[in-house]
Structure 1
Amino acid sequence: MTGNREVDSGATETPRHRADGGGPAPSPEGASPPAPPPRGTVPLLAVAGGAAVANVYFAQPLLVTIGRDLGMSPALVGGIVTLTQIGYGLGLLLLVPLGDVVDRRRLIVTQLLLLVGALAVVAVAPAASVLLAGMAAVGLLAVVTQTLVVHAASLAPPDRRGRVVGQVTGGVVIGILLARTVSGLLADVAGWRSVYLASAVLTALLALVLHRSLPHRHGDAAPSTLRYGQLLRSTVTLFAREPLLRLRALLALLVFAAFSTLWSSVALPLSAAPHSLSHTAIGAFGLVGVVGALAAGAAGRLNDRGLSCWTTGGGLALLAVSWLPLAHVDDSLWALVVGVIVLDFAVQAVHVTNQTLIYALHPEAGGRLIGGYMVFYSIGSATGALAATSLYTAFGWGAVCALGAGTSALAFLVWALTDRDRLTDRDR
């Protein structure tokens, strides 16, 4: 399998061991590869992943309305986003690894049902304290998105894994980009509470459908026998043991710092002169970003052909180039459209490649690998958002673009110095 040669050559030259330290892992050649997942399963996982992760972003355009309704101070309103993100980060560390030791179908359905409860709490919250607790729970349970990605990877035959991961990741990206637009429209029609009620109903329906249609644990690896404490500690062991995991996690941090630099601050120049766009018009640019999500499927197919190295390098180069048109937002909205498409296309190409490669390191530890990797994604996103808004306030949009371009160029440099020579036989 050409897509795995890069992983093996970049990770270790010694025999592959199980992620729990229990000796050599079963050889992929000795196990029968999984059959393709039932038709419709992958699109269903993509829809579920997008719907789950959207809950993390629904509140962002509603903060002022929520704060006014519950009598919250500006500082307390800011805590809505902060607590949701903290909950999401804890979920990546504490919940996603559980997929390596329990039946993933049961874990997915259970998390979705608990998420329904958390969304209901938010929707009927009578006071700020209840709302904040509910939002933290929403963030914690929304990490079911990553369990869905891992499950999709385990369902796919090795020669189609990149394609499957790309499809599900594309659904997740669409969910992120459309969340703000959908929540704004629903809130305008029926109030902010309707957003969370509608999401609770949709999540409950998805839990029912997934319970009936998803196969049980199915794939190329047996469940781990680790206890929970050992499971969490082994995530650290994986980072210590696997250079490729550390490299791809670093690239994720830099790439999503650049991604967040754009999306956390682009509303500021658009709402100011000369454009002075409404919130609805600004939210519509999320629809433009959906075009870039098409890169997820394309990147997955390239990975299946053994071209992961070139996909990474090309994606990072496009990421750096995307800031050239983005720097001209004040002059032309078409420049923004072009820049958004190129940036989102590049980010998803690298993200899908990262997930496909690190999952292949230890399929039996897919939850720990993806969960640990996504922690760096979250760190990068939070760092980019904080730095971008601060820079815009002090120096304007040009400084934001300089930050995004510099972060993107640094990511390309890291790849060029550490990963460029890891070519597969087909690449050569």
Structure 2
Amino acid sequence: MTHSAALPLPRDDAPLSRFAILLMAVACGTMVANLYYAQTLIDVIGPEIGMSAGVAGLITTLTQLGYGLGIILVVPLADLFENRRIVLISAVATVLGCIAIAISNGPATFLIASVMTGVGATGVQVLIPLASHLAPPERQGRVVGTVMSGLLFGIMLSRPIASFLAGSMGWRATFLLSAGVIALVAVALLIACPQRRPKGGMHYGEVLSSTFSQLGKYRVVRMRAFYQASMFAAFNLFWTAAPLSLIHDFGLGHNGIGAFALAGAGGALVAPVAGWLADRRLTGPASLGALIALSIGFLLADWTVTAGSLIGFTIMAVLIDAAVQVSQITGQKLIFSLDPHARGRINAAYMTVMFVVGALGSVIGSTTYEAGGWSLSAIAGAAIGGVAALVFILFDRGASATR
């Protein structure tokens, strides 16, 4: 990328400013939110573009599939090519995908655009390791925590934002506005985000083939991938079953569910605290505490629903989201400290396990709710956290200790 004299760009060794950190967090949130906008709008989008109810279910599946492909095929490139450039190309792909979704008039074009948007959104998984590279070691946890908070806010706020915009401006406007915001964020990243050129020295095929060997090479990556896959499964379980409980047990409509999700996003505020704990070499206790808190959150959530306490249920949503966030940030602090030259591949392997296994949580959530209502879903969520905590106690053996 050519540097213009009229536009001085940050050097490779430039310090990571507070503005750049917040910008990275915003970029993560705005890009990843595109994976979830359509989930809320399927019943509106399907009939307008001539998509049958059965095919409409592919909207979510193909967007997530695109994201999964991007994790495997794009994220390892961070070990080969200048990182900011990969993020900017991903942002452009996301913008084009959003525009294509907004102007699509048939199922085929919509679904292809959804895959493209999902692939583009994986730029966030290059941006997070980039932030860890650029942060000083003593602040790495807090920087990653702040950037990750943007990611979680994007996930949690995407559904209420999509519902609001679709109701006031139409569903196409949601994606057009998203494209505009991401384009502005990309320009800001070009100006404010420092570059990072990796050591390289390998071909793309070698990078891909060595990605999943990182799981065999590092025990800590295997353990942390298991913990976070469990956490992500429980997270997806909760946000699949909880809206059903809000409808049937509390009589809420879409606006009420959106408000509940908005309140639940408060769990993201724990991210800087989790980063501070990681920087204080407390990754082990924080990780175990998060797993235990997840199980307690589900058990108390069952009690609050039985008691008819919407406020209590909301507090448990915040607790569960906070537990997931603490586990994610402490885990990434650990895996990012292993090999700076393989950070992209390590993150790709870690995120693939988390993503594939975690996606089962949505299936478990819908199945358990249909079989036994919210109580059975809550018991399943508590069991997932309990098994992960038991594995930590019996088998972690220092894998989660700060290095």
User: Which TM-score tier does this pair reach, normalised by the shorter chain?
Assistant: over 0.9
Are the equivalent residues in 1 in contact too, given 2:160–2:259 (CA < 8 A)?
Answer: yes
Shift, 1:325, TM fit: 2.1
Deviations 1:180-206 (A, max 9, x none): 000000000011101100001011111
Moved over 6 A (4+): none
5 Å-filtered alignment, 1:209-228, equals 209-217=188-196, 222-228=198-204
* AA aligned opposite 2:93: L
Residue of structure 1 in register with 2:72 after alignment: 93
Residue of structure 1 in register with 2:380 after alignment: 403
Secondary structure of 1:247 counterpart:
helix
Residue of structure 2 in register with 1:237 after alignment: 213
- Separation in structure 2 between the aligned mates of residue 43 and residue 37 of structure 1, nearest angstrom: 10
Change (3 A) 1:38 1:377: same
Secondary structure of 2:17 counterpart:
coil
Q: Does 1:251 align with 2:230?
A: no
Residue of structure 2 in register with 1:295 after alignment: 270
Q: Does 1:334 align with 2:311?
A: yes
- Separation in structure 2 between the aligned mates of residue 34 and residue 257 of structure 1, nearest angstrom: 38
Change (3 A) 1:86 1:357: same
- Separation in structure 2 between the aligned mates of residue 417 and residue 296 of structure 1, nearest angstrom: 27
Change (3 A) 1:415 1:280: same
- Separation in structure 1 between the aligned mates of residue 357 and residue 301 of structure 2, nearest angstrom: 20
Are the equivalent residues in 1 in contact too, given 2:66–2:118 (CA < 8 A)?
Answer: yes
5 Å-filtered alignment, 1:104-119, equals 104-119=83-98
* AA aligned opposite 1:50: G
Deviations 1:105-134 (A, max 9, x none): 111111111211111100000101100000
- Separation in structure 2 between the aligned mates of residue 420 and residue 344 of structure 1, nearest angstrom: 26
Q: How many residues align?
A: 390
Are the equivalent residues in 2 in contact too, given 1:34–1:157 (CA < 8 A)?
Answer: no
Shift, 1:38, TM fit: 2.3
- Separation in structure 1 between the aligned mates of residue 219 and residue 402 of structure 2, nearest angstrom: 20
Percent pairwise identity: 37
5 Å-filtered alignment, 1:278-289, equals 278-289=253-264
Change (3 A) 1:183 1:304: same
2:155 to 176, 179, 188: 176
Shift, 1:420, TM fit: 5.1
* AA aligned opposite 1:210: L
- Separation in structure 2 between the aligned mates of residue 258 and residue 165 of structure 1, nearest angstrom: 22
Are the equivalent residues in 2 in contact too, given 1:187–1:193 (CA < 8 A)?
Answer: yes
Residue of structure 2 in register with 1:317 after alignment: 292
- Separation in structure 2 between the aligned mates of residue 423 and residue 203 of structure 1, nearest angstrom: 35
- Separation in structure 1 between the aligned mates of residue 195 and residue 199 of structure 2, nearest angstrom: 12
Are the equivalent residues in 2 in contact too, given 1:255–1:380 (CA < 8 A)?
Answer: no
* AA aligned opposite 2:277: L
1:44 to 23, 34, 40: 23
- Separation in structure 2 between the aligned mates of residue 380 and residue 425 of structure 1, nearest angstrom: 25
Deviations 1:82-117 (A, max 9, x none): 001111111000001111111111111111112111
Residue of structure 1 in register with 2:115 after alignment: 136
Shift, 1:296, TM fit: 1.4
* AA aligned opposite 1:170: S
Which ranges in structure 1 are unaligned for 5 or more consecutive residues?
1-32
Are the equivalent residues in 2 in contact too, given 1:252–1:380 (CA < 8 A)?
Answer: no
Are the equivalent residues in 2 in contact too, given 1:34–1:156 (CA < 8 A)?
Answer: no
Are the equivalent residues in 1 in contact too, given 2:214–2:349 (CA < 8 A)?
Answer: no
* AA aligned opposite 2:210: S
* AA aligned opposite 1:372: A
Residue of structure 2 in register with 1:53 after alignment: 32
Shift, 1:419, TM fit: 2.0
Q: Does 1:192 align with 2:166?
A: no
Change (3 A) 1:365 1:425: closer
Deviations 1:39-66 (A, max 9, x none): 3110000000010000001011100000
* AA aligned opposite 1:255: M
Residue of structure 1 in register with 2:246 after alignment: 270
Are the equivalent residues in 1 in contact too, given 2:278–2:402 (CA < 8 A)?
Answer: no
Shift, 1:337, TM fit: 1.2
Shift, 1:35, TM fit: 6.5
- Separation in structure 2 between the aligned mates of residue 265 and residue 425 of structure 1, nearest angstrom: 35
Shift, 1:424, TM fit: 5.5
Shift, 1:240, TM fit: 1.1
TM-score, structure 2 length as denominator? 0.94
Deviations 1:253-311 (A, max 9, x none): 11111111101121111112x42111011011122222211221111111111111111
Shift, 1:372, TM fit: 1.3
1:65 to 17, 20, 44: 44
The two structures, once aligned, show a CA RMSD in angstroms of 1.6
